[in-house]
Structures are given as C-alpha cells and as structure tokens.
Amino acid sequence: MTTDKAEQRLESRRIQPTAMRLRVLRYLSDRRVAVSLSDLEHHFSHADRTTLYRTLKTFQEHGLVHQIYDESGSTKYALCTEDCTCTYPDDMHAHFYCSSCENTFCFQNLSLPTIDLPDGFKPSYGNFVITGQCPDCAA
Ligand SMILES: [Zn+2]
Ligand SMILES: [Zn+2]
C-alpha cells in the first residue's frame, strides 16, 4: 500500500493520518495474516506499547480493523474491507487459526451461513474461527 493510499484509507474512516498510524496501516496491509499487539511491538521496536495499542483501538473504533479471538490467547487484528461496517451477519466471515505456526488468516470473502438463533437473542457480532493447519504447515 502506498502512503497516499494509506492516507486515503484513514481519511475515509475519519481517522487523522499521523505518521505512526500510516506506518501501522501499511504494516497491516502488507501482512498476509492477522497481527497481534506483540507482532506490532516486534516490528516497531522503537515505538512504545501504549501508542501501538491506542493505534489499534482507534482503528477498531473507526471500523478500519476487526478483532479476532483465536486459541493463541492474544487478540489479533485484521484490516476490514473498504465497505465493511462490521455488522452482523453481513460482514461476518470465516477465519482460520493454524495451531502449528499460530498464524490467523482472515477470509473476508468467505461469508457465514445465516444462523437462526432462538427467539430473544440479539446478535451484534460474531467471531468465527476454524482451527487446524495452514497449507504451509500441512505440507
Ligand atoms: Zn501454519
Ligand atoms: Zn476477518
């Protein structure tokens, strides 16, 4: 992702494009897998943890990224599609957690089947994760 594109992406979600936010966004978009706060800390070793955490939270609050909870125990974040509103069930999709390399993949185009919940249950968010082995680890 170019800096221009990253800037547009932030502005389209009403996020003020600071240098740090641009760098984090570009990192997220370059990675094939979802990232955790500790991935960010390793990559941006000069930035402090609080700044990185706040950056992720801002992205999440503005619908630029969504959270994924997998068996690794640390929350992962993946970029949303440009038209994503993170609503249930329209923007819910499948994720895959590889228990060997502990990478989590976000499959935006694999939408979930509609689930008829019992009366009275009002869903707001769904977190769908399949666990197993990714192609690299299964080979
Ligand atoms: Zn793997
Ligand atoms: Zn996802």
CB atoms inside a 10 Å sphere around CB 14: 9
Domains (range + CATH), the chain: 3-138 (1.10.10.10)
Ligand nearest to the CA of 102: 1
From the CA of 95, how far away is ligand 1's center (Å)? Answer: 13
Averaged pLDDT of the chain? 93
Q: Where is 58: in which H helix or E strand?
A: helix 49-61
Note the ligand closest to the C-alpha atom of 134: 1
Find the radius of gyration of the CA atoms of the chain. Answer: 16
**Residue 19 CA to ligand 2 centre (angstroms):** 25
- pLDDT of 124 reads 85
- What pLDDT digit, counting tens, does each position of 29-74 carry? 999 999 999 999 999 999 999 999 999 999 999 999 999 999 999 9
pTM of the predicted protein model: 0.90
Q: Is the pLDDT of residue 118 over 90?
A: yes
Cα separation of 55 and 50, whole Å? 8
Confidence of residue 86 (pLDDT cuts 50, 70, 90): confident
Ligand nearest to the CA of residue 136, numbered in listed order:
1
